[in-house]
Structure 1
Amino acid sequence: ILERIRRFFSPAIRDIKRLESLGRSPIYSHICATIQGIPLIRSYGAQTMCTRNFSYYLDEHSRAFSLMLTMNRWLAMRIESVVATFIGLLTFSMFLVHRNLPVSDLGLILAYSFTLMGSVQWIVRLTVDVMMQMTSTERVIEYIDLKPEESSTSDQLVILPPRWPIGSIVFDNMSFRYSDDSSWVLSNINISIEPGEK
């Protein structure tokens, strides 16, 4: 029964853990960007906007995190109810057969059943926790399997000449305006900029 509960629970908690991990990244990025941009944030008076953005990212993460905690409690309740039912049935059956076995054997059976069920309960929780923590490993494996964007072989690299870039910029009768209905800002400009000139 416990294995069935674990199989039912594992895919759901794995996906929720993935969502929680994805929701954590924007929080860290926002904190780093805010710390690096404190002078600009203060100079433009954008403290309220940064606080609002941080609250939004934190709320998104908290949804997944609280759902993950709720699901863990759901699992714990199911496991504990199965264990309590098993111990209850065992105790009831001991009352039925208590005339055939010595009391010391009945006590030993009951004590070992408590220990055994505690160990089974711990193993089920541990396997679920391991599955939850392996989501980050799955993400690393996905990144490893991605095709590289450019080839790492050196024979395909283009070797540029030592004085690259070389060239000049030439404008012949060039005219500029801001929009179609505005007047010309610059008209009939002829200019030539040679390499290295500013």
Structure 2
Amino acid sequence: MLIPTVVILGLFYSYKQFFIKTSRSIKRIEGTVRSPIFSHMTASLEGLSTIRAFNNQDVLIEEFDRHQDLHSGAYYLFLSCNRAFGILLDLNCIIYVAIVTVSTFFTASFGGNIGLSITQAMGLTGRMQWGVRQWSETENQMTSVERVLEYSNVDPEEDTNEEPVKDWPHLGGIHFETVSMRYAPSEPLILRNLCIKIKPTEKVGIVGRTGAGKSSLIAALFRLTPSKARYS
């Protein structure tokens, strides 16, 4: 019984090493595609009144279905990988119990030893299988810790702690003077010599077709992209 036990322990360890490389990568993918679902649900709940006002429920449902399909595919692949690993362990346990049972027929002096050997072999394989499964599951769940560590290592934004000057205006206005902006040096200009002056307390709506530069105007206002301009 000792020799088959050593052999099956080595097999279990080799199976675990092979399995964990695949399952860990799938678990990372599953965690990555799960985040957009929560983000989409949060954004949808926050803008529920706007969605209903513009009657865009179907658009949001289709977008949610796409996120859900990606996550379901990754999660199903992870479950299938676990099931295949479990079947492989079960098959080895059956072979191990069969070898122990056959070997006791030639070594045991009376029937009680045969029953004891079979019982101990079945109990041992169950514990070994449970231990290998828990070991693998622990390593898979550590991918969540990896994601937390990645966020903890992100460089924080600089805090300038600069106080405004004494003549800082009490009312906010927006003044664009010949604003030109492009998203990359090799791309054409999105905004070209734009001049806008919005007085304080004024409410202004920006209307235009898709690609007219509405979001680019906001990006220039918040300095999200480099631009050649003078605006305040």
- What is the TM-score when the length of structure 2 is the normalising length? 0.66
**Runs of 4+ more than 6 Å apart:** 166-169
Q: CA RMSD in A?
A: 2.9
CA deviation map 1:2-42 (0-9, x unaligned): 00000000011111111111111111111111111121111
Distance 1:40 1:90, change over 3 A: same
Distance 1:114 1:162, change over 3 A: farther
Corresponding residue for residue 10 of structure 1: 20
Corresponding residue for residue 211 of structure 2: none
Distance 1:16 1:96, change over 3 A: same
CA distance in 2: counterparts of 1:26 and 1:123, whole angstroms: 34
Q: 1:40 aligns with which of 39, 47, 50?
A: 50
Distance 1:54 1:166, change over 3 A: closer
Corresponding residue for residue 110 of structure 1: 118
Corresponding residue for residue 24 of structure 1: 34
Corresponding residue for residue 76 of structure 2: 66
Unaligned runs of 5+ in 1: 176-185
Corresponding residue for residue 145 of structure 2: 137
CA distance in 1: counterparts of 2:125 and 2:166, whole angstroms: 74
CA distance in 2: counterparts of 1:2 and 1:127, whole angstroms: 11
Equivalent AA in structure 1 for residue 131 of structure 2:
I
Greater relative CO (CA pairs within 8 A, separation 6+): 1
Identity %: 30
Quick check: 1:91 aligned with 2:101?
Answer: yes
Secondary structure, counterpart of 1:134 in structure 2: helix
* Deviation (angstroms), 1:162: 4.9
CA distance in 1: counterparts of 2:63 and 2:71, whole angstroms: 13
Distance 1:168 1:120, change over 3 A: closer
Corresponding residue for residue 180 of structure 1: none
Unaligned runs of 5+ in 2: 1-10, 179-194, 203-232
Distance 1:112 1:197, change over 3 A: closer
Equivalent AA in structure 1 for residue 31 of structure 2:
S
- What is the TM-score when the length of structure 1 is the normalising length? 0.77
CA distance in 1: counterparts of 2:42 and 2:138, whole angstroms: 30
Distance 1:6 1:43, change over 3 A: same
Distance 1:111 1:161, change over 3 A: same
CA distance in 2: counterparts of 1:140 and 1:164, whole angstroms: 40
CA distance in 1: counterparts of 2:201 and 2:106, whole angstroms: 103
CA distance in 2: counterparts of 1:162 and 1:120, whole angstroms: 73
Corresponding residue for residue 160 of structure 1: 164
Larger radius of gyration: 1
Quick check: 1:124 aligned with 2:128?
Answer: no
* Deviation (angstroms), 1:114: 1.0
Distance 1:115 1:166, change over 3 A: same
Check whether the contact 2:104–2:117 (CA below 8 A) recurs between aligned residues.
Answer: no
Distance 1:103 1:162, change over 3 A: farther
Equivalent AA in structure 1 for residue 80 of structure 2:
T
CA distance in 2: counterparts of 1:168 and 1:104, whole angstroms: 93
Equivalent AA in structure 2 for residue 12 of structure 1:
T
